[in-house]
Structure 1
Amino acid sequence: MAVAVAVAVSWLWDRTGPESGTVPGSPARTEVHALLAQVTVMEERRKVPGYQRGCGPGEGCVFGSAWTDDHPGAGGRDGCDTRNNVLARDLVSPIFRVGSNDCVVTSGLLDDPYTGVRVEFRRSEADAVHIDHIYPLAAAWDLGAAAWPTELRRQFANDITYNLVAVGGQANLDKRDHTPAEWLPPAPGYRCWFAGRYLTVAVRYSLPITAADHRALATAAESCP
């Protein structure tokens, strides 16, 4: 059900490349505008009953077990859970637990893509760094994922290529399941990057955005080089 993105996405993980003003490693404005032209727009987000992320007794577990390695996407079934896959990719100089085959990340440094602040990660204080779904799971459920087959929802929840990124814990708590009309990265220099990422996920999974989200992302695109 996922569709190919029709624009180049080489900038997806480049947050340290050439800068334009205050926008580090961001896509070109034309790329974000192309995504804005492709994405489906609906008037508003309406709550769809049945969203339960938890997998405990009596819970819906609608996107599968959190950070499961059992999914068909990149990093799936490689022996490492999704959280560690993302930490290994996003942290600067990650240190791995001895004997874990470079899987379990014990420490490292994160340049938070939402605030621009460098955060120290230690496994003993794991709440300092969260793994965020750029397009939130609850929003995806309301805007179309409730009708997806289970395997596609599990793939979406563990999509390390497009939808997952390591961020500072407080920024993730502030973001919650908000969409761009309600929340954008507090560091203005990262909003272009975020807009490109959010729209890439929406287009790839044929998920709509609201009219208010479209306006917010169009405004963020104006900061792009």
Structure 2
Amino acid sequence: MLNSMKSKVATLLLVGSALLTTGCGAAIQIEAAPPAPNTTEHQDDYRQALKTLETIDQKGRAPKTGYSRDQFGKGWKDPDRNGCDSRNDILARDLRDLTYKGTSDCVVASGKLDDPYTGKQIDFLRGQRTSTAVQIDHVVALSDAWQKGAQQWSAEQRLLFANDPLNLLAVDGPANAAKSDKDAATWLPSNKSFRCDYVARQTEVKAKYGAWMTKAEHAAIKDLLTRCLT
């Protein structure tokens, strides 16, 4: 699962990786995900995520003081320098049956999303009143990252984090709004079959950038990933 995602974004990550070498509420009861598909690929991904999880520091949240979206760059950027911003790169990666605005294959005009968070199909149509049906989610929310290490990052590192394809998914707009800046201790996708991949990906992102987890978040992810291996 994650391996297939990685292969899709390898080209996008290539330049971004060269640009920068990274170093870096109360918990609620969330129903556990059902067992993941019993394939070697899935099992290997979740087993590796559990190992990676143990390398991540556990600390309390830092104050949210000073946070703003602009701390991670104003709007979407083009760190891989392919001529398209990260939003359109992710729409092109995650949607199917694509059409584009104009003559260049850059600005996505329409497509269909098999939404990982809800499991439903969404028709995307670019427009002032329709674009928000599909939104680009930061798998590790920017505000969450800010409270767990990003305050100490450079501006360049925060910009790369905000535009890193590993940390971006096209998802259902309302589901994205419901998630807000919650971590895995307080929010998981309603689509239970995606939960294992979701927390494995969060773990990989936090390990890549050196962000820490709270004890509740770490425990929730460990419990879920362990269930994913049964």
User: Do these two structures clear the TM 0.5 threshold for a shared fold by scoring above it?
Assistant: yes
Contact 2:35–2:228 (CA under 8 A) maintained in structure 1: no
Question: Cα distance 1:141–1:24, how it changes in 2: closer, same or farther (>3 A)?
Answer: farther
Question: Cα distance 1:159–1:191, how it changes in 2: closer, same or farther (>3 A)?
Answer: same
Contact 2:36–2:196 (CA under 8 A) maintained in structure 1: no
Question: Cα distance 1:190–1:208, how it changes in 2: closer, same or farther (>3 A)?
Answer: same
Q: Secondary structure at the match of 1:119?
A: strand
1:62 aligns with 2:62: no
1:83 to 87, 96, 103: 87
What's the TM-score once normalised by structure 2's chain length?
A: 0.80
Match of residue 45 from structure 1: 61
After the TM superposition, which segments of 4 or more aligned residues of structure 1 sit over 3 Å from their partners?
A: 11-14, 20-27
What's the TM-score once normalised by structure 1's chain length?
A: 0.81
Contact 2:88–2:108 (CA under 8 A) maintained in structure 1: yes
Q: Relative CO higher for 1 or 2, CA cutoff 8 Å, sep ≥ 6?
A: 2
1:117 aligns with 2:120: yes
Q: Secondary structure at the match of 1:39?
A: coil
Share of identical aligned residues, percent?
38
CA–CA distance in structure 2, aligned partners of residues 65 and 27 of structure 1: 36
1:41-80 per-residue CA deviation (whole Å, 9 max, x = no partner) reads 22x2132311111xxxxxxx211111122x3xxxx22211
Structure 1, unpaired ranges of 5+: 1-7, 15-19, 54-60
CA–CA distance in structure 1, aligned partners of residues 214 and 42 of structure 2: 22
Contact 2:136–2:169 (CA under 8 A) maintained in structure 1: yes
Match of residue 4 from structure 1: none
Q: Once the 2 structures are TM-superposed, how far is the Cα of residue 11 of structure 1 from its aligned partner? A: 4.2
Match of residue 154 from structure 2: 149
CA–CA distance in structure 2, aligned partners of residues 24 and 109 of structure 1: 28
How many matched pairs?
A: 199
Larger mean CA deviation between 168-177 and 27-36 belongs to 27-36
Q: Secondary structure at the match of 2:5?
A: coil
| AA at the equivalent of 1:80 | C
Match of residue 27 from structure 1: 42
1:167 aligns with 2:182: no
Q: Which has the higher helix share?
A: 2
Q: Once the 2 structures are TM-superposed, how far is the Cα of residue 82 of structure 1 from its aligned partner? A: 1.0
Q: Secondary structure at the match of 2:188?
A: coil
Q: Once the 2 structures are TM-superposed, how far is the Cα of residue 21 of structure 1 from its aligned partner? A: 5.7
CA–CA distance in structure 1, aligned partners of residues 76 and 102 of structure 2: 21
| AA at the equivalent of 1:10 | N
CA–CA distance in structure 1, aligned partners of residues 169 and 61 of structure 2: 24
Q: Secondary structure at the match of 2:54?
A: helix
1:206 aligns with 2:206: no
Contact 1:111–1:117 (CA under 8 A) maintained in structure 2: yes
Structure 2, unpaired ranges of 5+: 8-33
Q: Once the 2 structures are TM-superposed, how far is the Cα of residue 115 of structure 1 from its aligned partner? A: 1.2
Question: Cα distance 1:24–1:81, how it changes in 2: closer, same or farther (>3 A)?
Answer: farther
Q: Once the 2 structures are TM-superposed, how far is the Cα of residue 222 of structure 1 from its aligned partner? A: 3.2
| AA at the equivalent of 1:40 | D
Q: Once the 2 structures are TM-superposed, how far is the Cα of residue 158 of structure 1 from its aligned partner? A: 0.5
Q: For the aligned residues, what is the CA RMSD?
A: 2.3
Contact 1:90–1:166 (CA under 8 A) maintained in structure 2: yes
1:202-221 per-residue CA deviation (whole Å, 9 max, x = no partner) reads 10001111110111111221
| AA at the equivalent of 1:49 | T
| AA at the equivalent of 2:64 | V
